[in-house]
Chains A and B, each alone.
Chain A
Amino acid sequence: SQTIHQWPATLVQPVGSPLSLECTVEGTSNPNLYWYRQAAGRGLQLLFYSVGIGQISSEVPQNLSASRPQDRQFILSSKKLLLSDSGFYLCAWGRLAGRSEQFFGPGTRLTVL
């Protein structure tokens, strides 16, 4: 069976500090991978998606970046965090064809102070 992992579960960082969130998927190969952010009281916002190693598409301009160094590894980074980067970050994976069902990880709660 497939599983998706995210870490850390919670994170408190000062403004201006760097960020690295990691997501890994097990039990499947060549998945589509996604990073979402959910601010308090709002819907999910797609940040990045990747259809393969080294292939990253950005949905919104921001001070965040994403990388996919391995097939089942997706990393969300920032060089300098802003207060507005606070939120619930979710990683998800989906298959290339067929149903558009996405499977979400447990999420990372980021608070920027």
Chain B
Amino acid sequence: QVQLVQSGAEVYESGASVKVSCKASGYTFTSYYISWVRQAPGQGLEWMGWISAYNGNTNYAQKVQGRVTMTTDTSTSTGYMELRSLRSDDTAVYYCARVTSFDILTGYYADYWGQGTLVTVSS
């Protein structure tokens, strides 16, 4: 069965960097995208960006552009999201999700999600 297992919760000082991992299993890793979505406490879902596990192409949201890097390791079927220069408003649960390849009839959608990783930034 498809599973996405993320790294554990951590606390960081303001200005530090975090790297969250997302290990995939149960499907052909390179046939999908890995998207990252975050959710601040009590808030809605925010799309941060995605990476093609096939060719490594990325697309980032403007809000985190310049501070975020998404990568994959196809040898271990793992995706990574690094966020630098952390500040208090980066405190959130970070989710990875498997996103389907484009189909003109259905577009893209995230059909499996990791369990989430709580990143707390303390000032």
To the question of whether A and B form a pair in one complex, the answer is no
Q: Which residues of A contact B (CB under 8 A)?
A: none
Q: Which residues of B contact A (CB under 8 A)?
A: none
